[in-house]
Amino acid sequence: MKVGEKLKPVVKGPLGMTVIVAMCVAGLAPARLTAHGVALREYRKKPAWAFRDTNTYALEPIYGVHYNIQAANAMGLPYPYDVGTQRHCWQVHLLTNWMGDEGWLKKSDAEYRKFVYLSDVVRITGKVVKKYQDDNGEYCVDIETHSINQRGEEVMPGKAMVILPAKNEPEEMWPVSKRLKHG
């Protein structure tokens, strides 16, 4: 691997309702979603957490901006949009595909620059920008990532640091093995 090497891209989308629901069910939602009496009691305590859906007349959580067009419109947006943690997982998918099972993802940063709306497609790319040995003697690679939607807009630039195994070192010195050994 050399500086300038490009990672094999990951493409996500089109972003659909099932993807958003699956993300919420998987527990990536930063808000706790509730229903019926529990939700109504929470909305009474914190009215700003809910809005009345003009189609169903039900009180809905403002978190619905991610799956409900009425909520998105109430916030001045044309469509529901993704959740940042979900998008960040897409970046991690790119990185773990590239580094393999024996690499270690030490850092992963991303900036949510633009909304990713329902129906959007995002291409996540990466490039090796630096190779070095850190103070612990581990072999590190810095990677720059970009997430571009079908309109050509950068929706999530990012960067990461990956620790890779050295081919000339025994397996017990590889990043994952070292961390398993030391807890």
How many Å apart are CA 141 and CA 157, to the nearest integer? 17
How many Å apart are CA 13 and CA 149, to the nearest integer? 10
pTM for this entry: 0.88
> Block means of pLDDT (10 residues each) for the chain, length 183 residues?
96 93 77 84 91 88 88 91 91 97 96 96 98 94 98 98 90 84 70
What pLDDT score was predicted for residue 75? 87
What pLDDT score was predicted for residue 104? 95
The pair of three-digit structure tokens given for residue 103, joined into one six-digit string: 């690499």
What pLDDT score was predicted for residue 165? 93
Domains of the chain, earliest start first = 10-15+83-182 (3.10.129.10), 31-74 (no CATH)
Beta carbons within 8 Å of 109's beta carbon, 6+ residues apart: 158, 159, 160
DSSP collapsed to 3 states, the chain:
CCCCCECCCEEECCCCHHHHHHHHHCCCCCCCCCCHHHHHHHHHHCHHHEEECCCCCCEEEHHHHHCCHHHHHHCCCCCCECCHHHHHHHHHHHHHHHHCCCCEEEEEEECCCCCCECCCCEEEEEEEEEEEECCCCCEEEEEEEEEEECCCCECCCEEEEEEECCCCCCHHHCHHHHHHHHC
What pLDDT score was predicted for residue 22? 85
